[in-house]
Amino acid sequence: MSKELIRLRDLCMAFDDEPVLNNVNLYINDKEFLTLLGPSGCGKTTTLRIIGGFTTPTSGDVLFDGVRINDVPPHQRQINTVFQKYALFPHLNVFENIAFGLRMQRRADPADPTGKKKVKIPEKEIHDRVMEMLEIISLKGFENRKPDALSGGQQQRVAIARALVNRPKVLLLDEPLGALDLKLRKDMQIELKRIQQQVGITFIYVTHDQEEALTMSDTIVVMDKGSIQQIGTPEDIYNEPKNAFVADFIGESNIIDGIMVHDKCVKMYGREFPCLDSGFEENEPVDVVIRPEDIDIVPVEQGQLVGTVTNVTFKGMQYDIIVDFKGFKWLIQTTDHSPVGARIGIKIDPDGIHVMKKSAYSGMFGDYSSFSEEYDELDDASIELDEEESWDEE
């Protein structure tokens, strides 16, 4: 797409001897929308704070445009941040909040030929640039309001303007939509993507909301327990998850123990299924991912597998049904209603099957026996408090 802008090399971080990041290696391209995605405590916010310069890594390097910037303080980096809960200055009005960074800047005096003399940015230019930002975030006429007189969504946009007005090369966003309600969050997702394309700079976005990540990102970095699990485009991550953790975290998945009989043939429940995967050893134990929407319900006699419906939930566009196959419960999304207790057959097309190598996460996810609780967790997009609190201990 374009050239590399930031590289993280063997980044490790520990608070009080407790490892938070383990050997994170990552490069970020110019003008890219990259999302760090993972559950709370996975190290995504720490990674962001290291890029911003608020936290110094225990070991490893941060390179910006090929230059090591580990020891460069935040105010000297060409990076600006939109903080969780915005961190607007309560004692300043909207105009002064946005103008804050510009008022701090000193640049070479154009009237001084040696270029050594530093001058403030003229008031006229500050005014024009702030007004231009207010235009971009559609908050013209709000410049004299104090932050507490704005709604959450408006404060959010002021925080973005306050960062962007400095024309940084990179904008870091730490769960910026966490405090907004669902409807506003959806609008702001589109708005953020539009702003990113309009200003044409790199966005590094931190979230635990997989849907948000899929909607906005060019690249998603899935993290857990301080390590990167997978890097890829939203399509890659969804269609070709690398391990059970990624498959479970992104979208809904049934993850079943299987054996790769030979290329393009996997065995589950003692039955062989044709698939598209290859490159495994013969008879290698594997994890098989089947997305709930890739399963067709067919009459019992035509089914590759036969199971019993144990739970049906109406979701508007589809039914979420839980089907018991020999004690392992699957989630199936279908537009056809099947009553609880019914015996049904299922059929899976070869492209609906994704085979993964066994990993440390094998056997931890993908069973829908505790269906209802798991569903609640996934819908819960509240702000992550535990990760935030861990900063106290720095």
Partner 1 sequence: MKRSNSLLSRVFMALVFVFLYAPIVLLIIFSFNAGNSNTVWQGFSLEWYEKLFRDRLIMQSVYTTLLISLLSTIIATVAGTFAAIGFYSMRRRIRDPLMTVNNIPMMNADIVTGVSLCLFFVAFFNFWGDFAVWFNSLQGVIQLPTRLTMGFGTLLIAHVCFNIPYVILSVGPKLRQMDKNLVDAAQDLGCTWMQAFWKVIIPEIKPGIISGALTAFTMSIDDFVISYFTAGSSASTLAMTIYGMTKKRVSPEINAVSTLLFVTVLVLLAIVNIREARQERRNAHRLHA
Strands 170-174, 202-207: pairing kind: parallel
Beta-ladder partners of 227 = 224
Please report where in the chains the tokens 């969504």 appear, as a residue. Answer: 153
Tell which one of 67, 114, 122, 148 touches partner 1 (CB under 8 A).
148
54 binds partner 1 (CB under 8 A): yes
Q: Give the number of other CB atoms < 10 A from CB of residue 35.
A: 27
Choices 47-55, 248-256, 281-289, 304-312; region in contact with partner 1 by CB under 8 A:
47-55
* Nearer residue to partner 1 within complex by CB, 100 or 319: 100
Query: Residue 243 interacts with partner 1 (CB under 8 A)?
Result: no
CA gap 291, 348 in Å, rounded: 10
Residues in contact with partner 1, total (CB under 8 A)? 29
d(CA 120, CA 164): 18
Residue (75 or 315) nearer to partner 1, CB: 75
Count the Cβ atoms, other than its own, within 10 Å of residue 72. 15
The minimum distance between CB 170 and partner 1, in angstroms, equals 11
> Least Å distance between CB 246 and partner 1?
30
Nearer CB in complex with partner 1: 166/254:
166
Nearer to partner 1, 88 or 275 (CB): 88
Cβ closest to partner 1, residue 80 vs residue 334: 80
Closer residue to partner 1 (CB): 105 or 372: 105
Between CA 258 and CA 363 the distance in angstroms is 11
Q: How many CB atoms lie within 10 A of CB 332?
A: 26
The answer to whether residue 108 forms part of the interface with partner 1 (CB under 8 A) is: no
15 residue type, one letter: F
CB neighbours (10 Å) of residue 316?
Answer: 5
Are residues 148 and 90 in contact, defined by beta-carbon separation less than 8 angstroms? yes
In the list 1, 2, 3, 73, the residue contacting partner 1 (rule: CB under 8 A) is 73
Q: Which of residues 117, 138, 144, 149 is near partner 1 by CB under 8 A?
A: 149
In the set 45, 93, 166, 189, which binds partner 1 (CB under 8 A)?
166
The answer to whether 209 and 327 have CB atoms below 8 angstroms apart is no
Minimum Å gap between C-beta 177 and partner 1 is: 16
Q: Which long-range contacts (CB under 8 A, 24 or more apart) does 267-273 make?
A: 269/305, 269/325, 269/326, 271/304, 271/305, 273/304, 273/348, 273/350, 273/353
Buried b (16+ CB within 10 A) or exposed e, 122-141: eeeebeebbeebbebbebee
Residue 197 near partner 1 by CB under 8 A: no
Q: How far apart are the C-alpha atoms of 104 and 375, rounded to whole Å?
A: 47
Q: Smallest distance, Å, CB 15 to partner 1?
A: 11
- Which range binds partner 1 by CB under 8 A, 162-170, 222-230, 265-273, 364-372? 162-170
Angle at 152 between CA 47 and CA 173, to 5 degrees: 15
The only residue of 4, 10, 59, 74 in contact with partner 1, by rule CB under 8 A: 74
Contact pick of 281, 282, 376, 392 for partner 1 (by CB under 8 A): 392
Output 143 or 174, the one with its CB closest to partner 1: 174
**Furthest CA-CA distance within the chain:** 87
Which of 162, 185, 291, 354 is close enough to bind partner 1 by CB under 8 A?
162
Query: Within 77-96, which residues bind partner 1 (CB under 8 A)?
Result: 79-81, 83-85, 87-91
Binding site for partner 1 (CB under 8 A): 52-54, 73-75, 79-81, 83-85, 87-91, 100-101, 104-105, 148-149, 162-163, 166, 391-393
